[in-house]
Homo-oligomer: A and B are copies of this chain.
Amino acid sequence: MELAITVQKILAVDAGGTTTRAAVIDASGLCLGYGTAGGGNPVSAGYDGALAAVAAAAEAAVAGSGLEHHTISSALVAMAGVTLRMRPAAIAQQLVALGLHGAVEIEADLLAMFHSGTHRSYGSVLIAGTGSVAARITDGRLDLVADGTGWLLGDTGSGYWIGHRVARAVVASLDGRGPPTALTALMLAELHMEVRPARLHGRPLVLLDLIDALYNLRPVELSRFAPLAFEAGGQDPVAARIVTAAASALAGTLDAVRDQQVQGPVVIGGSVARAVLAAPPAVAAPLHAALGHDEVIQVEDGLIGAAVLGLRRAGIPVDGDVFERLQKTVARFRDAARSATKKAPTK
């Protein structure tokens, strides 16, 4: 049995909003191959786009490992939208078409993100990128989830939420309803627009042009303006208020899932959560207050966690040693892939 376990190889996939990552892992936690592809979130990439990204990243990882496809004994795919009632069979079919054998399991990206930070089975996780969501993990399962309700209805404190407030603050300021803000110049520069003194029908022409430009975006694309709030937040009161409100909203989402009786780390991921934690402490005070003296682990994505879940589903225990080996060897492949990207001629 010992031999059978050590030769097992699993495929782990983390289907993220902008990048899908895959790794081939052996039973000791050693990463043998790594690959990436485009966005694999079925909500933003579409169902077919997500399937194609999962297949492309998986193929790259298996090819990189030098292994035959049929030697991969099982796969685990971590994906957002699991709560939106995905059809796992279609993903399994996609991987079988690549020549993979064995079970294919789908898990929530939230659980994978948590396990990218720890192999322990209790704690909480907060993710804020374009969207935002938090969960309590109990006995290795998603016990309670808060937010993740999308741009229109929630995702408070997310990149969309911040970018939307930036856009509204700039529109209100140009409209004479809101205070002047440094965000206006930043946003107009981002959109390659200039303030002109001309007016039309009782309004500044630049406001009409800005409104046209913003309604031509899909609403979620307003998240591209979130970085402006962090850029201006140190000096500009309007921007600082937006970042503080985001910190407060994220604290509220985290508080909705935490159980003071349960010990365990708070795993935090996503570009916006990282930016809030890196903001001046006074501006991000509500989130720091909510975290208190808890153990906080920042993670980059859900790939290591997908590997943890994949190993466990295959009956392979993941202890501290295996987890550490996973972290180190996945990081090695990731760094190699990054420096290769940097060396490649830019388009």
Interface centre among A143, A149, A215 (most CB of B within 10 A): A149
- Mark each residue of chain A from 248 to 275: 1 if its CB lies under 8 Å from any CB of chain B, else 0: 0000110011000000000000000000
* Contact, CB under 8 Å: A150 / B83: no
CB A119 to nearest CB in B, in angstroms, measures 21
Q: Is the CB of A211 within 8 A of B149?
A: yes
A176 to B172, CA, bound (A): 31
Query: What residues of chain B lie closer than 8 Å to A150, measured between beta carbons?
Result: 211, 215
- Those of A174-231 within 8 Å (CB) of chain B: 175-177, 200-203, 207-208, 211, 214-215, 219, 222
What chain B residues lie within 8 Å of A84 (beta carbons)? Answer: 208
A154 lies within 8 A of chain B by Cβ: yes
Residues of A in contact with B, size category: 35 or more
* Residues on the B chain within 8 Å of A214, using CB: 152-153
User: Are the CB atoms of A149 and B176 closer together than 8 Å?
Assistant: no
Complex formed: what's the CA distance from A146 to B201 in Å?
Answer: 11
Among B147, B167, B201, B256, which residue has its beta carbon within 8 angstroms of that of A153? B167
Contact for A175 among B149, B167, B202, CB less than 8 A: B149
Complex Cα gap A46–B121 (Å): 55
List of B residues within 8 angstroms of A328 by Cβ: none
Q: Within 8 Å of chain B (Cβ to Cβ): is A171?
A: yes
Q: Are A203 and B83 in contact (CB under 8 A)?
A: yes
Name the residue among A145, A147, A215, A219 with the largest chain B CB count within 10 angstroms. A145
Q: A171-B149, A177-B252 are in contact. Are A144 and B211 (CB under 8 A)?
A: no
Output the least CB separation between A270 and chain B (Å): 18
**Contact A215/B152 with A83-B203, A142-B202, A202-B145 known, Cβ cut-off 8 Å:** yes
List chain B residues, Cβ under 8 A from A154. Answer: 168, 171-172, 175, 177
A118 near B: Cβ within 8 Å?
Answer: no
Residue of B nearest to A84 (CB): B208
Q: Is A108 an interface residue (CB 8 A)?
A: yes
Q: Is A135 engaged at the interface, CB distance under 8 Å to the other chain? A: yes
Contact A152 B83 (CB under 8 A): no
Task: Name 6 interchain pairs, CB-CB below 8 A, sorted by A.
Answer: A144-B176, A145-B202, A145-B203, A149-B171, A154-B172, A177-B252
